[in-house]
Amino acid sequence: MIDLLTPERAVEPRPPAGRDTSRYVRSYLIMRVLLGALGVLLPFALILGDGLVLDGNPFPRSSLSAYYYSGMRDVFVGALSAIGVFLVTYKVAERTLDNTLSTLAGIAVGLVALLPTGLPNDLEEPTPLQELVGVSTVETIHYVAAAVFIGSLAVISFFFGVREGSRSPRPGCQSPAFWRRFHWACAGAIVASLLWIAVTQLVAGPSRSLLVGQVVAICAFGASWLAKGLELDVLRGR
């Protein structure tokens, strides 16, 4: 029944719920793709940007963390901070193991970005935080946070594989078994990089061993998230 006492108001048509949901899902997947691409590209951007564009020395540096003290500092801090924000907000509305791990990884990588590794030489001025609590204390927190970050990513990639392996086959897509093996390979690469770093640091291995391990871990993390977000049929609105 029409209420004659109420002025008539134009009612805008609402899009179907399915279309709304699809739009939000595509936005979510795009963010996941961008996070994965950022993980894959970041190590190369730091190394090549510092060495080839900014003539940084030494080239390459001993670790990705050492690029905090280079001309690529803003890229290093900005990229890790962006990764941290996404990981903290990823599935934030859920109370699952995924949410716990991603939140832990996001907080850890935020600490990696904000708390630098030790000073590369005596000429480098310590940050105000390093002066306040000590260079060695900040460096210790940095490396513990880095280990927590990388370890959490390995577990997340493992569960990506578990879920992908349980999906129903889809026409025109790789089999669920393929994606299970892919994500588990990424998780294995991350774990192997952690072991590589631990062993080579204990036995005073190659001078760039830390850099190699970090590059492998970050690229494997990026590849896993990139593949997880590349739901091409959904991204195309099908």
Domain-located, residue 5: no
Phi, psi of 224 (to 5 degrees): -65, -45
Question: What pLDDT, on a 0 to 100 scale, did the predictor assign at position 18?
Answer: 53
The span from the CA of 161 to the CA of 142, in Å, is: 29
Lowest-pLDDT choice from 43-47, 98-102, 154-158: 98-102
pLDDT at 153 > cutoff 70: yes
pLDDT at 8 > cutoff 50: no
The span from the CA of 18 to the CA of 191, in Å, is: 40
Domain-located, residue 8: no
Domain-located, residue 55: no
pTM for this predicted structure: 0.83
Peptide bond before residue 60 is cis, with ω within 30 degrees of 0: yes
Average pLDDT (1-17) is 42
Question: What pLDDT, on a 0 to 100 scale, did the predictor assign at position 135?
Answer: 92
| 233 CB-near residues (< 8 Å, 6+ apart) | 170, 172, 173
Domain-located, residue 153: yes
Question: What pLDDT, on a 0 to 100 scale, did the predictor assign at position 198?
Answer: 92
Domain-located, residue 11: no
Lowest-pLDDT choice from 16-25, 102-111, 203-212: 16-25
Task: Report residue 101 as tokens.
Answer: 């791990």
pLDDT at 121 > cutoff 50: yes
Structural domain boundaries enclosing 186: 63-119+129-235
Check: CB of residue 69 under 8 Å from CB of residue 118. Answer: no
The span from the CA of 161 to the CA of 181, in Å, is: 7
pLDDT at 6 > cutoff 50: no
Mean pLDDT, all residues of the chain = 84
Neighbours of 38 (CB within 10 A): 19
Domain-located, residue 41: no
Question: What pLDDT, on a 0 to 100 scale, did the predictor assign at position 19?
Answer: 58
CA angle 163, 166, 171 (to 5 degrees): 110
**Number of structural domains, the chain?**
1
Q: What's the pLDDT band for 234 if we cut at 50, 70, 90? A: low
Q: Which of 99, 59, 106, 61 is nearest to 83 (CA)?
A: 106
Task: Report residue 106 as tokens.
Answer: 């996001």
Domain-located, residue 175: yes
Tens of pLDDT, residue by residue over 155-189, are: 999 999 998 888 777 766 678 888 899 999 999 99
Domain-located, residue 7: no
